[in-house]
Amino acid sequence: MKVLLQRVLESCVTIDGKTVGAIDRGLLLLIGIEKHDDSETLKRMAQKVIDYRVFADDEGKMNLSVRDINGGILAISQFTLAANTRKGLRPSFSSAAPPGSAESLYDTFVQLLQDFHPHVETGRFAADMQVHLVNDGPVTFLLEA
List 6, 55, 78, 109, catalytic entry = 78
List 79, 109, 122, 125, catalytic entry = 79
Q: Are the CB atoms for 15 and 123 separated by under 8 Å? A: yes
Does 78 participate in catalysis according to the annotation? yes
Does 55 participate in catalysis according to the annotation? no
The SS3 call for residue 126 is coil
List 14, 41, 55, 80, catalytic entry = 80
Can you point out the beta strands (E) in 16-129?
18-23, 26-32, 55-56, 62-64, 72-77, 120-122
Does 140 participate in catalysis according to the annotation? no
Give catalytic residue positions: 78-80
